[in-house]
Amino acid sequence: MRCALVRPAHRSSGYDEGTQECLGIGYVGAVLRERGHEVVVVDAEMEKLADREAFERVAASDPGLIGFSVMSEDALDSLRRLARDLREAFPRAHLTAGGNLPSFDPEWILRLCPGIDSVIRFEGERPLLELAERLRSGRDFRAVPPAASVDDLDALPFPIRDTLPIALKNGWMAPISSSRGCHARCSFCAVHRFNLDPARPWRFRSPAGVADEIDGLVADFGVREVNFVDDDFIGNRKQGQPRARELAAELIRRGLKVGFSLQCRAEWIDRATFRPLKAAGLRMVFFGVEAVDEESRRRYGKPQSRELVRRTLELLDELDVYAHVGFIMFNPWTRLEDVREAVEFLRDIGHLNIHTATNFLQLSPGTPLLEPLAAGGMAFREPHGGYRWSFADPRTASVKAVFDRVLWPQFPAWYESLMAKWSVLTARRSDERCAHDLRRMDDLVHDVAIRTLDAIESDPGVDLFALVRELSERTACAARS
């Protein structure tokens, strides 16, 4: 059967999701091809295709099965248009959608896009293959078995890499997945709910299998850097840390001189594990700090202390591994004193920047925090499908509004790009001029934050338009100097 696998374009990006391949499509595409199905990949997000261009790419393949990968609400506008137009053009084709959003809110997707026939929930390799097999043989697609987590990740074929040349041409890293799931239960995250095997919240591939895939990427595409997209690369101490050390040893044994980045929880980062990873090519680690104040940490289920964050950053600095931290500056209960405390802590540890200063709690179906907020009337769904929430303290809403209107429009595009794209940042972080410019921009973020907080704390009724104008002029002059 001819299958088209599509990632719709996103309305907005934040951290630019288009800077790497969609491995979800890569894995389901590999399973389909392994069973003799023809697969065409159309990644409108990566290639920045207009909806009409994406439609024409899909239509050219004359598909019998069209699968959409929908990770967030940002893709819904494009999804709705593509599903409508493709349904009209291919009335006999089967349209299905998978990914985070369809998994947790299938009814919404089917109502929003009446041209879609079915939803693939959670891990899609087995159900999508079963769907394609049933369609090819004329059997009832409604009898596809319910979703189940893949038990043996090593049994999956390596993902197809149809779009990797595009990514590499743009200087981006090749993504690779070495594990699935997470032991943590953070209330702002749905990863633990995506996993359907409670006995195995974190599943992992063998070091040899991961090294084989990297070996192939080097041989076939000349890859020099990879980004592990695992939600928690280490996973735990008992199995995960030894596996990481075994992988490091295997990469060194094979002579695979490939740089790589990963993300994990701060508590898994120790010298015994990360020294060999550094020797094997580790260049960057992302871990979530998320909050400083006690109340937000409690709400998030993120109990790590400031001392742990500092020790982790000191260790990574000692190993010469770049650290990139995640932070949620704003949530519905954030107070002005929480923002000030967070700004000063982030500045003190060297991670106050345009992203950590403006990032806010994002709610999607499946995230535990959504349920109490929606029930209490603090969160509501917008017509396009995304959720918005309101601040308990209107002064905090004013602070966020000023941050958004001053920081993003006034800062140079290169700064936003460097802070958003790990591969570019790691490549340039050793450039002294670049490092100096980054520090200068970060100082401006601090200046805007403190001046905004001072103004709104001293006068809650301050003219926000005048404040934005004053800070924008000041920031624009400083950014040009």
In a domain, 204, yes or no: yes
Q: What is the pLDDT of residue 471?
A: 95
Same domain, 198 and 237: yes
Lowest mean pLDDT among 326-330, 369-373, 395-399: 369-373
Same domain, 249 and 292: yes
Same domain, 321 and 185: yes
The CATH number of the domain holding residue 310 is: 3.20.20.70
Q: What average pLDDT does this structure show over 80-87?
A: 98
Q: What average pLDDT does this structure show over 82-91?
A: 98
Q: What is the pLDDT of residue 417?
A: 62
- Is residue 15 pLDDT above 50, yes or no? no
Q: What average pLDDT does this structure show over 335-350?
A: 97
What SS3 class is residue 133?
A: helix
Among the candidates 298, 327, 356, a domain finishes at: 327
Q: What is the pLDDT of residue 378?
A: 92
Name the residue with higher pLDDT: 382 or 359. 359
**Strand partners of residue 385:** none
Same domain, 139 and 201: no
Determine what percent of the chain falls in helix, strand and coil, rounding each to the nearest 5: 50, 15, 35
- Is residue 16 pLDDT above 80, yes or no? no
Name the residue with higher pLDDT: 282 or 418. 282
Q: What average pLDDT does this structure show over 241-253?
A: 98
- Is residue 420 pLDDT above 50, yes or no? yes
Among the candidates 143, 160, 191, a domain finishes at: 143
Same domain, 321 and 188: yes
In a domain, 385, yes or no: no
d(CA 103, CA 105): 6
Number of folded domains in the chain? 2
Q: What average pLDDT does this structure show over 298-305?
A: 94
**Strand partners of residue 3:** 39, 65
156-176 confidence digits (pLDDT tens): 999 999 999 999 998 888 999
- Is residue 17 pLDDT above 50, yes or no? no
- Is residue 226 pLDDT above 90, yes or no? yes
Q: What is the pLDDT of residue 350?
A: 93
Q: What is the pLDDT of residue 383?
A: 77
Same domain, 209 and 133: no
Q: What is the pLDDT of residue 172?
A: 86
In a domain, 441, yes or no: no
d(CA 221, CA 165): 7
- Is residue 423 pLDDT above 60, yes or no? no
Q: What average pLDDT does this structure show over 48-57?
A: 97
424-439 confidence digits (pLDDT tens): 555 555 667 777 778 8
The CATH number of the domain holding residue 25 is: 3.40.50.280
In a domain, 397, yes or no: no
User: What does pLDDT average to over the chain?
Assistant: 92
Q: What is the pLDDT of residue 481?
A: 63
Same domain, 266 and 178: yes
- Is residue 454 pLDDT above 70, yes or no? yes
Q: What is the amino acid identity at position 365?
A: P
Same domain, 323 and 179: yes
pLDDT band at 414 (very low <50, low <70, confident <90, very high): low
The residue to which tokens 């509501």 are assigned: 380
Parallel/antiparallel/unpaired status of strands 387-389 and 379-381: antiparallel
- Is residue 406 pLDDT above 70, yes or no? yes
Q: What is the pLDDT of residue 413?
A: 72
Burial 65-81 (b: 16+ CB within 10 A, else e): bbbbbbbbbbbbbbbbb
In a domain, 422, yes or no: no
Q: What is the pLDDT of residue 426?
A: 58
Same domain, 132 and 263: no
In a domain, 295, yes or no: yes
Which of 445, 457, 361 is CA-nearest to residue 403?
445
Which of 326, 315, 324 is CA-nearest to residue 278?
315
Give the range of the structural domain holding residue 289, as residue numbers without chain letter.
Answer: 173-327
Same domain, 78 and 196: no
- The tally of CA atoms less than 13 A away on the side-chain side of residue 126 is 13
Ramachandran class of 466: left when φ > 0, alpha when ψ lies in -120 to 50, beta otherwise = alpha
Same domain, 217 and 135: no
Q: What is the pLDDT of residue 422?
A: 53
In a domain, 349, yes or no: no
Same domain, 255 and 136: no
d(CA 337, CA 205): 44
Q: What is the pLDDT of residue 14?
A: 46
Among the candidates 278, 310, 327, a domain finishes at: 327
Using a pLDDT cut of 90, give the percent of the chain over it. Answer: 82
In a domain, 436, yes or no: no
Burial of 181 per CB tally in 10 Å (0-12, 13-18, 19+): buried
- Is residue 364 pLDDT above 60, yes or no? yes
231 in Cβ contact with 182 (< 8 Å)? yes
Which of 77, 99, 30 is CA-nearest to residue 3?
30
